[in-house]
């Protein structure tokens, strides 16, 4: 599996691209900013972007979404509880940070436990409400894309509209902590880590 991390935008947001190394079909997790950097990478590596999955719809994860979708015609996926955030500038914080943001009209809604294979890549949807109601982590073959739910040494903020501290803790403890210690975790901000390290060291979980 091809794996690449982009660090994009003024909120220093991680965005991950995975691709099948034989078919060159690619999947993107979030589209934070700088669409040209994402599109250049696809072109240089001869990759075809097929799907974009959102970990959640806060503005710092979707600023380049419309441009990336327009340029690639990739299918967009997000959790069903996140749909209201995508269109609502108060909920997705666009109102606070930018003038206006166009977002795609066409997308497919996900539920907890959905599995979406693409060639050699399997994506399993893990609904982890708390940071937002539709926050989602994706188990991709054997790694975890954790969005703004679980960070190295921290967890996502829950003081945004409709956030819930109890829910995020419950999501992490009852869903993410079921994964093996060796599972690599790739968060929406900051460094990568492992489930085992967070189980032992994350101050919100011990």
* Binding interface with Zn ion (CB under 5 A): 58, 60, 148, 188
Beta-strand relationship, 48-53 and 75-79: parallel
The residue among 20 and 148 lying less far from Zn ion, judged by its C-beta, is 148
Q: What is the distance between the terminal CA atoms of the chain, rounded to a whole angstrom?
A: 33
Question: Residue 189 Cβ, how far from Zn ion at the closest point, in Å?
Answer: 6
Q: What is the DSSP string of 31-83?
A: --S-HHHHHHHHHHTT-EEEEEE-S---GGGTTTHHHHHHHH--EEEEEGGGH
Question: Residue 25 Cβ, how far from Zn ion at the closest point, in Å?
Answer: 27
The residue among 90 and 181 lying less far from Zn ion, judged by its C-beta, is 90
Segment holding 171, helix H or strand E: helix 165-174
- What single DSSP character describes residue 160? S
Beta-strand relationship, 25-29 and 48-53: parallel
- List Cα–Cα distances, 82 to 85, 103, 134, 179, in angstroms: 5, 13, 4, 24
The residue among 162 and 205 lying less far from Zn ion, judged by its C-beta, is 162
Question: Residue 5 Cβ, how far from Zn ion at the closest point, in Å?
Answer: 14
The residue among 121 and 126 lying less far from Zn ion, judged by its C-beta, is 126
Which residue is at the shortest CB distance from Zn ion?
58
Give dist(CA 51, CA 9) in Å, integer.
21
Question: Residue 24 Cβ, how far from Zn ion at the closest point, in Å?
Answer: 29
Question: Residue 141 Cβ, how far from Zn ion at the closest point, in Å?
Answer: 24
Question: Residue 20 Cβ, how far from Zn ion at the closest point, in Å?
Answer: 27
The residue among 60 and 82 lying less far from Zn ion, judged by its C-beta, is 60
The residue among 50 and 131 lying less far from Zn ion, judged by its C-beta, is 131
């Amino acid at each position: 599996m091809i794996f690449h991390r982009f660090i994009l935008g003024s909120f220093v947001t991680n965005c991950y691209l995975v691709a099948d190394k034989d078919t060159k079909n690619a999947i993107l997790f979030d589209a934070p900013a700088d669409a040209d950097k994402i599109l250049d990478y696809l072109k240089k590596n001869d990759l075809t972007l097929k799907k974009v999955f959102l970990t959640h719809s806060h503005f710092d994860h979707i600023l380049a979404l419309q441009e990336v979708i327009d340029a690639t015609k990739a299918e967009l996926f997000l959790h069903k509880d996140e749909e209201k955030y995508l269109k609502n500038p108060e909920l997705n914080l666009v109102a606070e940070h930018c003038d206006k943001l166009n977002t795609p009209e066409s997308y497919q809604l996900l539920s907890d436990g959905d599995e979406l294979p693409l060639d050699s890549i399997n994506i399993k949807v893990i609904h982890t409400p708390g940071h937002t109601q539709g926050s989602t982590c994706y188990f991709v073959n054997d790694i975890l894309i954790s969005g703004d739910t679980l960070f190295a040494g921290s967890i996502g903020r829950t003081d945004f509209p409709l956030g819930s501290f109890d829910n995020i803790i419950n999501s992490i403890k009852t869903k993410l902590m079921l994964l093996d210690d060796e599972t690599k975790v790739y968060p929406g901000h900051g460094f990568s880590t492992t489930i085992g390290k967070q189980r032992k060291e994350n101050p919100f979980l011990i």
